[in-house]
Structure 1
Amino acid sequence: MDIKEIRKQFPILSQKVNGRDLVYLDNAATSQKPNVVIDAITKYYREYNSNVHRGVHTLGTKATDAYEGSRERVRQFINAKSVQEIIFTRGTTTGLNMVAQSYGRANLNEGDEIVITYMEHHANLIPWQQVAKETGATLKYIPLKEDGTISLSDVRNTITANTKIVSIALVSNVLGTINPVKEIGEIAHQNGAVLVVDAAQGAPHMKIDVQDLNCDFLAFSGHKMCAPTGIGVLYGKKELLENMEPVETGGEMIDFVGLYESTWKELPWKFEAGTPIIAGAVGLAAAIDFLEEIGLENIFNHEHRLAQYALEQCSNIEGMTIYGPKERAGLVTFNLEGIHPHDVATVLDAEGIAIRAGHHCAQPLMKCLEVSATARASFYLYNTEEEIDLFIRAIQKTKEYFGNVI
Structure 2
Amino acid sequence: MTTQQQEFEAATADVFNDADVDKDRAIAGRHWAVPDHELIGTATYESIRNFANGYGDDNPLFTDPAYAAGTRWGGQVAPPIMAAVVNTPLRGERPGKGERGGSYRGIHAFVSGGTWDWYRPIRPGDTLYSFGGLESVEEKSSEFAGRSVIRRNRKVKMNQNAEVVGVYRTLTVLTERKAAKSRAKYADVESPHYTDEDLARIDEIYAAETRRGADPRYIEDVAIGEALPPMVKGPLTTTDIIVFHAGGYGFVPYGLKTGRMAYQNRQRIPAFYVKNAHGVPDVAQRVHWDSEWAQQIGNPYAYDYGVLRECWMHHYLTDWAGDDGWVVSQHDEIRKFNYEGDTQFFSAEVSGKREEAGRQLVDIVFRAVNQRDEETMRGTASVSLPSREHGPALLPEVPADLQRSAIEMMTRHAELLRPAGH
Q: TM-score range by the shorter chain?
A: under 0.3
Relative CO higher for 1 or 2, CA cutoff 8 Å, sep ≥ 6? Answer: 1
Bigger strand share: 2
Q: Return the TM-score normalized by structure 1.
A: 0.22
Bigger helix share: 1
